[in-house]
Each structure stands twice: as structure tokens, then as C-alpha cells.
Structure 1
Amino acid sequence: MRQNPSFAMTDVGEIRRLIDRHPWVTVISQTADGLVASHYAIMLDDTRDDLTIVGHVGKPDDAIHGLGEREMLVVVQGPHGYVTPRWYGDVPAVPTWNFVSAHLSGIPELLSPEENLRVLERLVDRFEGDDHDARSLYRLPNDASFVERLERGTVGFRLTPTRVAAKRKLSQNKTPEVVETIIAGLSREGGTHAELAVEMRRAADARPRA
């Protein structure tokens, strides 16, 4: 990802927030047959306070990716959306796309079956939430054999990235007045654009005042 100092996101806390809010990622590896990509949910490692992530892949994706043997790129995609030049006013301007994204690269460590089970439990608990009928991995009696079969069909990993490129392109190069107009336009469009508007508001509020 080409970096621009105006849009670089270097704060570990902000990147962790991005990962936590957008756990569905793209996993990319270079293989003898070319690039291969898969899509999985990941989480921050709850024993660390850095950018270490944990997750799992289903077999045989571990073999396809050469998991644990070669570098892997994890692409985290946050909110994004089209920005029309209409929002810049009556001036020469081109359309663009605002977004928040991070690339985490490194050679992952394979988890033991016990560690993988813990990651699977955390994933299920995270996305089931607190509803009264939420179903944990071990919800039903005598589920141990089922869960063991589930674990054997997956391979867990932990990735402490050796390279991180994170970017938050949220019209930081525009005047505060234009930024407010873009935020208002995205908010009116709603849907996924509303989340992008929230991210632009956070960036605008953190902007140094003249």
C-alpha cells in the first residue's frame, strides 16, 4: 500500500481499534503457483497490547498458504466510500475514495490444539454476543467430541506483524469547511457511508486547531 505522510496511521491504539471493529480480513500468501487469497475472521491477541492477531484457517487452506512457513499478508479493510467532487464546491476537483485500511505482514506461528480451541471459543463468544439465546462452543451437553472434530478441521495461528502499513484517507488535505460538507453528505447517504462519516468526524475532531 503506497503510503502518504498526510494519511499515514501510526498510532497502535487506532490500528487496534480498526482490527477490533473490522475482524473479517483477507489473507494473502505467495505460493509456487502464484498468489492465493482467503477470507477469515481474526481477533487481537488478548494476552498482548500490540498488533498481534490470532485466528484460524480451515484445512486444507493451511497447506495452500504454507501457513507458518512463509510470509503472510493480512489486509484489514475499514469503512470506505465514494466522495463526489460536488462536495468540494464550485472548484475544479476530481472524485476520490476515502477509506481506512491496514496491512499486517509476517510469518505466522501455528497454535497448539489447546490454543486453537481457545481462539475458536473466543471467536464464537465474540460474535454470538450477549443475547439470551447466544450459543457458545460448548453449549450442549456431551459436545466435547463435536468440538474436538471441529478443532481438528482447522489450524490456528498467531501473527505478530514484522511490517505494518496503515492508512486513514479521510480528506485530511481539505479545509475544515469542505470536510464538514463531506461528512454531512456521507451521513445523508447512510448505510456504510454513515460509518465512514463517523471516522471522518473522529479524524476532524483530532485535527490540530489553527
Structure 2
Amino acid sequence: MYRPNHFKMNDTQLIQELVSDYPLGCLISSSENYLQTNYLPFLLEGGFLISHMAKANPQVEHLDGSFVVVTFQGPERYISPSWYKSAMQVPTWNYAVVEVRGRIEILGQPNEIEEILQKSVTQFEAMNNTAWKYNLPEKFRNELIKHIVGVKIHIEQIEGKFKLSQNRDSQDRESVKTELFQSSHSKDLAMLKLMKTLF
């Protein structure tokens, strides 16, 4: 990922928060010069990403032991030159992303899969302000996990790129924040909140 110095994000906490707040990651793998992608909800646990996917998914066939990339997309927004105070500017796009690289391990034991499902339900129900419990009947659960594999990515590299007008002067940055504040769109307010953490 191209990361000019202005936009490099090395704050571990902010990187982890983005993955936690935007957990739907794009899993990218390569097999015989062919790229495959799938979108999975991930949990970040220490030095690992964990998730699950359908056993019937063709991507599963070549994953175990492979080197993969997972990307996470945070807030993003088109920025109009009309928002700037200074003259002679051009449009741009502000965004925050995290890219994870590592070796993937496919987990097939029922207890491993159930542990991932339980952790996922607990975290995502809390994010959703709902209280559904993973307490399905045993027969139903056993049938369910026959069709699922666990995913565990051993993280070797994690990079953040937060392109949030850091290359503009303070007057322009404040002007962008003012425009975002006036918006009623939740994604604009998420962008504003992230910008406020930096300046």
C-alpha cells in the first residue's frame, strides 16, 4: 500500500479501533496467479485475525498455509475544493484504511469453530446493541459447523493509512471539519470524529 509520510498511521490503538469499528474485511489470496476475494467479519485478537467462512467456498481449497492480505475500510469522503479557504486547490478523497498481511491457518475442529462463532456473536451483538445469545440446540449447532471452517491469520504486518487532510494547512483542515459537522450523514460524522483524533 502506498503510504506517503503525511498519511502513515502508526498509532496501534487507532489501527485496532478501525478494525474493531469496521470489522468486515476483504480477504485476498492468490492461487496459480489467480486472485480470489471474499468479505468476512473479523475479530482482532492479539497477533491474530479470526473469522469463519463456508466450507463450500472455493477460496478455502488453497488457503491453509497461504500468505494473504486483508483490507479494512473505515470512513471515506469526497472533499470538494470549495471547502478549502486557500485558493488553487483540487478535489481529493479522504479515507482511513488498514491492511493486514500474514499466514492463514484453516481450523476444522468443531471446538475451534464454535469458539470463533461464540466470540463473534458476543462482540457483534454488543456492537449492535442487541442481546442474541449463541445458545442454539446442540444438534442444530453440530449440523451448522459441518459446513463451516475457522480462519486464523497469523499477522506478520499491519499498516494503517489515514488520509485526513494532514497535507493541508490548519485553516483548510478546520474548514473541512466544519463542512463535515454540518452533515447529517453518519459516515461524515465518523470522518469528523477520526479527524478530531489527529488535529
Identical counterparts, % of pairs: 25
Q: How many residue pairs were aligned?
A: 197
- Matched residue, 1:158: 152
- Matched residue, 1:136: 133
Cα distance in 2, alignment partners of residues 130 and 13 from structure 1: 18
Amino acid across the alignment from 2:112: E
- Matched residue, 1:184: 178
TM-score (norm 1): 0.86
What is the root-mean-square deviation in Å for CA atoms of aligned residues?
2.1
Counterparts of 1:43-122 in structure 2, within 5 Å, are 43-45=43-45, 48=46, 50=47, 52-61=48-57, 63-64=59-60, 66-111=62-107, 112-122=109-119
Cα distance in 2, alignment partners of residues 185 and 193 from structure 1: 9
Cα distance in 1, alignment partners of residues 64 and 121 from structure 2: 24
CA contact 2:100–2:158 (8 Å) conserved in 1: yes
TM-score (norm 2): 0.90
Amino acid across the alignment from 2:125: E
1:33–1:174 Cα change, 3 Å: closer
Secondary structure of 2:132 counterpart: coil
Query: How far off its partner does 1:121 sit?
Result: 0.9
Cα distance in 2, alignment partners of residues 131 and 36 from structure 1: 29
1:86–1:17 Cα change, 3 Å: same
CA contact 2:85–2:175 (8 Å) conserved in 1: no
Query: How far off its partner does 1:65 sit?
Result: 5.8
Cα distance in 1, alignment partners of residues 128 and 75 from structure 2: 26
CA contact 1:3–1:165 (8 Å) conserved in 2: no
Question: Which region of structure 1 is more displaced relative to structure 2, 22-31 or 32-41?
Answer: 32-41
CA contact 1:79–1:195 (8 Å) conserved in 2: yes
Cα distance in 1, alignment partners of residues 38 and 123 from structure 2: 21
1:83–1:130 Cα change, 3 Å: closer
Query: How far off its partner does 1:67 sit?
Result: 1.8
4+ runs of 1 displaced by more than 4 Å? 62-65, 130-133
Question: Which region of structure 1 is more displaced relative to structure 2, 153-162 or 122-131?
Answer: 122-131
Amino acid across the alignment from 2:192: A
Cα distance in 2, alignment partners of residues 42 and 148 from structure 1: 22
Say whether residues 1:198 and 2:193 are aligned partners. Answer: yes
Cα distance in 1, alignment partners of residues 106 and 75 from structure 2: 30
Cα distance in 2, alignment partners of residues 89 and 133 from structure 1: 44
CA contact 1:62–1:155 (8 Å) conserved in 2: no
